[in-house]
């Protein structure tokens, strides 16, 4: 089934105001508000522990270690930070609690910085194929709708492929997003071969000179070997049409799952060699600290973060803005 959904009414072009100070402040405030629960779990507890302390000792650093682990920052990241603080303490380089706070903010920022790599659509690839994967319930379908909206606003021609042929109503839900974005979608009946759907979508996208083809896949547990093999098949079929495709294999992770998100990322990466991540539902969890554990373990680009349910609640990931928002203490 190929369905082209025409625009119901003209949509005015939105000028790019990314460089304006008001837009930057708005972007920062959205991240800050969305990280409220994580700030309460991590940052406010850190502030209560270290800020105002005129003396730093080993007991303080031990308390800090427990706090970081509780906040889902992860064992490896926590140990590196604690080792650094212990070294600085031995060298008399931690004058007070503010110095500890500054080290924490700097180290976490440097950890995330390599993950800040915006996805640029290469005009040499028509279509650029983005294969979206993830376990059940992470917000995959919603994220695809937001991705389509994001690139549509940039003037790209976008098409969707309803590759989740397993879950009941998955195609219907993705079709609703296609209608909202006024873009075409290629789908087949429930139970159809996922690779076949995406194959057909690729050919349709080529025929229409489409810029971006976003392919959905069925949600699957990362522990199910046979389902992970199915993803490998989808990847192989796409590469037969274009040796460079899929150009992006993006894993959607629910931040609320904490350390389990890291396990998912490791399993998917091992199975199909991920190229990027999107972290969703940051607005509803206190476990946003897991982003640091994921960044340390996988060092994959974090293309986007999800900050809410709305169609515009998807933000290009900025390491500096994320850490700045996280370490903002509201008085």
DSSP readout, 78-104? HHHHHHHHHHHHHTT---SHHHHHHHH
Question: d(Cα 259, Cα 281) in Å, to the nearest integer?
Answer: 15
Give the tens place of pLDDT for each residue, 170-224: 999 999 999 999 999 999 988 899 999 999 999 999 999 999 999 999 887 766 7
Is residue 171 located within the same domain as residue 104?
A: no
Give the tens place of pLDDT for each residue, 17-40: 344 455 556 778 888 999 999 999
Is residue 272 located within the same domain as residue 163?
A: yes
Residue 96 tokens, joined:
């007070």
Is residue 158 located within the same domain as residue 129?
A: yes
**315: phi then psi, degrees, rounded to nearest 5:** -125, 140
pTM over 0.85: yes
Whether 11 shows a pLDDT value over 80: the answer reads no
* Domain enclosing residue 42, as ranges: 26-115
Contact 151, 234 (CB under 8 A): no
Is residue 110 located within the same domain as residue 252?
A: no
pLDDT confidence of 16, banded at 50, 70, 90? very low
**Residue 239 in domain:** yes
Give the tens place of pLDDT for each residue, 54-99: 999 999 999 999 999 999 999 999 999 999 999 999 999 999 999 9
Q: Which of 115, 146, 165 marks a domain boundary?
A: 115
Please tell me the total count of domains within the chain: 2
Q: Which of 87, 115, 143 marks a domain boundary?
A: 115
The CATH number of residue 95's host domain is 1.20.120.140
Give the tens place of pLDDT for each residue, 149-174: 999 999 999 999 999 998 888 999 99
Is residue 135 located within the same domain as residue 57?
A: no
pLDDT confidence of 244, banded at 50, 70, 90? very high
């Amino acid at each position: 089934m190929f369905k082209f959904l025409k625009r119901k009414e003209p949509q005015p072009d939105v000028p790019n105001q990314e460089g304006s100070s008001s837009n930057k402040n708005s972007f920062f405030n959205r991240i800050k508000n969305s990280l409220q629960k994580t700030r309460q779990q991590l940052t406010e507890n850190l502030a209560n522990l270290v800020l105002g302390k005129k003396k730093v000792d080993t007991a303080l650093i031990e308390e800090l270690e427990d706090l970081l682990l509780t906040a889902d920052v992860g064992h490896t990241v926590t140990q590196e930070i604690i080792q650094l603080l212990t070294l600085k303490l031995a060298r008399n380089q931690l004058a007070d609690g503010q110095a500890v706070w500054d080290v924490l903010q700097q180290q976490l920022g440097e950890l995330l910085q390599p993950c800040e790599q915006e996805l640029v659509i290469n005009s040499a690839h028509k279509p650029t194929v983005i294969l979206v994967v993830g376990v059940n319930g992470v917000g995959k379908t919603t994220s695809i709708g937001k991705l389509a909206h994001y690139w549509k606003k940039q003037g790209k021609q976008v098409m969707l492929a309803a590759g989740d042929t397993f879950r009941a109503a998955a195609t219907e839900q993705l079709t609703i997003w296609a209608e909202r974005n006024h873009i075409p979608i290629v789908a087949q009946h429930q139970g159809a071969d996922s690779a076949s759907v995406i194959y057909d979508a690729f050919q349709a996208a080529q025929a229409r000179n489409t810029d971006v083809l976003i392919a959905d896949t069925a949600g699957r547990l990362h522990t199910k070997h046979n389902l992970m093999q199915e993803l490998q098949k989808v990847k192989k079929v796409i590469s037969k049409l274009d040796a460079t495709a899929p150009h992006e294999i993006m894993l959607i992770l629910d931040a609320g799952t904490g350390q389990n998100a890291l396990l998912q990322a490791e399993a998917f990466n091992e199975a199909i060699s991920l190229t990027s991540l999107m972290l969703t539902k940051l607005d509803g969890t206190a476990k946003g600290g897991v982003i640091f554990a994921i960044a340390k373990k996988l060092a994959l680009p974090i293309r986007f973060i999800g900050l809410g349910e709305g169609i515009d609640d998807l933000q290009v990931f900025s390491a500096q803005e994320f850490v700045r928002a996280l370490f903002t203490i509201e008085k």
